[in-house]
Amino acid sequence: MSQQLLLDLVENTSMKEETPFFEIGDTVDVHCRILEGEKERVQIFNGVVIARSGSGTREMFVVRRIVQGEGVERKFPLQSPRIAKIEVKRSGVVRRAKLYYLRDRVGKAVRLKERRGDPKKRAELASRG
Amino acid sequence: MTQIYDPTGKVIPVTVIQAGPCHVLQLMTQERDGYEAIQLGYLDKPRRLAGRSARGQVAKLDSKRQRRRAAAGVQAVQKPDCEPKRYVRELRGSVGNREIGQELKVDVFAEIKSVDVVGTSKGRGTAGAMKRHNFHGQRASHGVKKCHRHVGGTGCSATPSRIIKGKKMAGRYGNARCTVRNLKVVRVDVDNDLLVVRGAVPGPNGGYVIIKQTNKV
């Protein structure tokens, strides 16, 4: 068997059954489980998805938001069991895969133009390939 | 290598090894050979590459000598009766209840917590002392000229007027037998003959390794 197939066999066991659908430029709510001592609680990080990288269990995505005038970016592993849910709040019109140019912008210039159309339909199209 | 998640969400870096199935080709015994060991073969060798000696190792071949010995009443050595093998390695240790011709699968590791992995490290050719021996090199500035990655001094002066043997210097690096000890077994996948261990093993992707139960406690 090829090396990649062997890796896939192992990786598939720790992949999520259904990967949440979102795109670059989407404003999302990331629900992450956080352990506080014994208790587990869900924290929500809201922001714009500016990059996705990697594949399989190693896939990561970067979410950027502005907190008190300061840009904050968090990089999440997509397949991690600590990520409970990813909710798409709004889709933006973007023309590239990495929105690093947003880092140089402040104020009104950070906004992305809203993308029209049903996000559910887009998810369906993407899943069909 | 890849990574998987444990139930709490921690990432485990793992190496996936196709472990077996291996055939037991020969058993070394105390009486006959003076030591105990087990000879394992992995992967079938294409018939066109298998010489007479390789074929004779796994199956009974007819020869004048064999006939003469049979006539003299010498008992023939037991053969595993499988295809000639591409990789044949002998592992020292107690034979246990293994038999010649037996097929060993990855489930032999089912009860084992950690393993040692022996392989051939990636060859790096002629490498400098910084890469080969983790020397620090010299400074980037403060008057250092064109020798930022050099060794520096290599010995004494008029006495002893020679360099001490074994001085670490630049040279061939890698492509040598290398053992990584005490790798935790993360998963044993019997259906696909896969052994998943935590951490890296020596050699390139697709390289061949020997896996043993660790002797490190």
Cβ–Cβ gap B9/A33 under 8 Å: yes
Closest C-alpha among B171, B168, B167, B169 to residue B125: B171
- Let me know whether B115 and B183 are in one domain: yes
- Residues B167, B210, single domain; the answer is no
Specify the pLDDT at position B57: 86
Question: Does B206 contact A at CB distance below 8 Å?
Answer: yes
Which domain does B189 fall in, by range?
A: 1-20+106-123+174-217
Whether B3 has its CB under 8 Å from any CB of chain A: the answer is yes
Shared-domain flag, residues B74 and B41: yes
Note whether ipTM > 0.85 here. no
B163 Cβ neighbours under 8 A, 6+ residues apart: B154, B155
Nearest residue in chain B measured CA to CA from A3:
B206
Interface of B with A in 111-170 (CB under 8 A): none
Residue B63 φ/ψ, nearest 5 degrees: -150, 165
Indicate if B16 and B46 belong to the same structural domain: no
What are the average pLDDT values for consecutive 10-residue runs of chain A, which has 129 residues? 85 86 92 87 94 92 93 93 90 93 89 82 77
Domain shared by B184 and B147, yes or no = no
Are residue B117 and residue B208 in the same domain, yes or no? yes
**Domain harbouring B7, CATH code:** 2.40.30.10
Q: Please report residues of A whose CB lies closer than 8 A to that of B14.
A: 10
CB-nearest to B5 from A1, A9, A79 is: A79
Per residue of chain B (217 residues), give pLDDT as tens: 899 998 888 899 999 999 878 999 989 888 888 999 999 999 888 888 888 888 888 888 888 888 898 888 888 788 888 888 999 999 998 888 888 888 889 988 988 999 999 999 999 999 999 999 999 999 999 999 999 999 999 989 998 999 999 999 999 999 999 999 999 999 998 988 999 999 999 999 999 999 999 887 7
Are B112 and B192 members of one domain?
yes
Q: How many domains does chain B have?
A: 3
Which chain B residue is nearest to residue A12, measuring alpha carbons? B4
Residues B25 and B1 in one domain: no
**Which residue, among A23, A29, A51, A54, has the nearest Cα to A42 in the 3D structure?**
A29
Which residues have a Cβ under 8 Å from the Cβ of A21 and sit 6 or more positions away? A88, A119, A122, A123, A126, A127
Which CATH number belongs to the domain containing residue B66 in this structure? Answer: 3.30.160.810
pLDDT in the model for residue A35:
85
Helices (H), chain A: 3-11, 119-128
Pairing of strands B125-127, B194-198: unpaired
Contact status of B191 with chain A (Cβ, < 8 Å): no
B6/B47 same-domain check? no
**Residue range B160-202, pLDDT digits in tens:** 999 999 999 999 999 999 999 999 999 998 988 999 999 999 9
Residues B200 and B211 in one domain: yes
Rg of chain A's alpha carbons, rounded to an integer?
16
What digits encode the pLDDT tens for the residues A38-59? 888 999 999 999 999 998 899 9
- What pLDDT, on the 0 to 100 scale, is given for residue A129? 65
Q: Establish how many alpha carbons lie within 13 A of residue A42's alpha carbon, considering only the half-sphere containing its beta carbon.
A: 10
Same domain, B169 and B217: no
CA distance A23 to A125: 13
Q: Does B196 touch chain A (CB under 8 A)?
A: yes
Tell me whether residues B4 and A6 touch, CB distance under 8 A.
Answer: no
Coil vs helix vs strand at B83: coil
B30 shares its domain with B77 = yes
